[in-house]
């Protein structure tokens, strides 16, 4: 599940970085202790369950946190506003990172519940599952996203990751309403066979749906403009989609599999982080 949405008013209102609140006030790093992971889980809960349409389990509702067994396996990338502090109170964005070398020792990847990842398993070297991305609405700026991507890039290079992947979401569960978007993704951005996850047989929804040509939007430019920002971001990186979509009833979304081969990523959007990492 990858989404950006507004957070509730539980965090004291503060404006995003401006001339008075510089971009340098934003720091990106991995979570250092359980308290920071719990703060990221609370942010995820506010985004997915209070503002979007996800349905919490009774345990999640009581705790006010989005949590599952994968949290203990993952590294949690955080963006912090250092003018608010240097701990849980400062967390304004997060991404969950799970390496294949860890996942294989603990039962597999989160997205394997929706997609057959066997094609990616055949790719040599380390791979990285990205998920549970959230940014506080007041910080949903280019600067914040650059901080997140710089953190992901440094992580990728530190662990020699060859492929990044995860689930990305379209809103709602009516596949007909987004038939044009699904058809566009399948037509223009389908992953090559050697990198192509496929929705599991029991959950598979065709992306090239009958009648999609007549569904809104009606052209590629409109379809691209209608995609959620993070999907567009992955496509700009040179990313692909897998074959088939999956309806996620709990989160109220339609999921597609996203794949980014690090060696194919466009220079403009990613490789400059490699140069920065090498210089540090």
pLDDT string in tens for the chain (280-residue length): 433 332 222 223 334 444 445 557 999 999 999 999 999 999 999 989 998 889 999 999 999 999 999 999 999 999 999 999 999 999 999 999 999 999 999 999 999 999 999 999 999 999 999 999 999 888 888 888 889 989 999 999 999 999 999 999 999 999 999 999 999 999 999 999 999 999 999 999 999 865 555 455 558 888 999 999 889 989 988 999 999 999 999 999 999 999 999 988 865 556 555 555 555 5
- 178-215 burial by CB neighbour count: b if 16+ within 10 A, else e? bbbbbbbbbeebbbeeebbbbbeeeebebbbbeebeeb
3-class state of residue 8 by DSSP: coil
- Helix axes of 142-158 and 271-279: crossing angle, nearest 10 degrees: 70
Q: What is the pLDDT of residue 51?
A: 86
Residue 60 lies in a domain: yes
Question: Domain limits at 119?
Answer: 23-279
Provide the residue count of the chain. Answer: 280
206 — phi, psi (to 5°)? -60, 135
CATH code assigned at 71:
3.40.630.30
Residue 68 lies in a domain: yes
**The total number of structural domains that make up the chain:** 1
Residue 9 lies in a domain: no
Q: DSSP labels for 173-219?
A: S-GGGGHHHHHHHHHHHBPPGGG--EE-TTT-B-SS-TTGGGSSP-S
Residue 181 lies in a domain: yes
How far apart are the C-alpha atoms of 48 and 46, rounded to whole Å?
6
Residue 143 lies in a domain: yes
Residue 61 lies in a domain: yes
Q: What is the pLDDT of residue 12?
A: 31
Q: What is the pLDDT of residue 217?
A: 54
Residue 80 lies in a domain: yes
CA torsion through residues 69, 237, 255, 16, sign: positive
Residue 201 lies in a domain: yes
Q: Which structure tokens are listed for 72?
A: 């203990």
Smallest CA-to-CA distance from 16 within 89, 84, 110, 99 is with: 84
Q: Which structure tokens are listed for 50?
A: 């209070």
């Amino acid at each position: 599940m990858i989404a950006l949405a507004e957070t509730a008013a539980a965090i004291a209102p503060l404006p995003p970085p401006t001339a008075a609140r510089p971009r340098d006030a934003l720091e990106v790093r991995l979570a250092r202790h359980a308290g920071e992971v719990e703060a990221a889980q609370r942010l995820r809960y506010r985004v997915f369950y209070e503002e979007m349409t996800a349905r919490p389990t009774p345990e999640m509702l009581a705790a006010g946190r989005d949590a599952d067994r994968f949290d203990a396996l993952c590294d949690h990338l955080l963006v912090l506003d250092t003018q608010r502090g240097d701990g849980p109170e400062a967390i304004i964005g997060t991404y969950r990172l799970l390496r294949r070398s860890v996942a294989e020792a603990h039962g597999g990847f989160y997205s394997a519940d929706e997609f057959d990842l066997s094609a990616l398993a055949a790719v040599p070297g380390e791979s990285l599952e990205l998920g549970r991305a959230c940014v506080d609405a007041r910080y949903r700026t280019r600067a914040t996203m650059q901080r997140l991507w710089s953190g992901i890039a440094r992580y990728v290079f530190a662990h020699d990751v060859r492929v990044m992947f995860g689930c990305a979401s379209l809103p709602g569960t009516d596949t007909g309403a987004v038939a044009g978007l699904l058809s566009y993704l399948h037509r223009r951005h389908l992953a090559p066979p050697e990198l192509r996850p496929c929705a599991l047989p029991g959950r598979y929804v065709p992306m090239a749906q009958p009648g999609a040509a007549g569904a809104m939007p009606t052209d590629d430019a409109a379809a691209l403009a209608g995609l959620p920002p993070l999907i567009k971001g992955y496509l700009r990186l040179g990313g692909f989609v897998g074959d088939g979509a999956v309806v996620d009833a709990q989160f109220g979304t339609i999921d597609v599999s996203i794949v980014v081969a690090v060696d194919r990523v466009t220079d403009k959007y990613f490789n400059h982080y490699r140069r920065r990492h090498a210089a540090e």
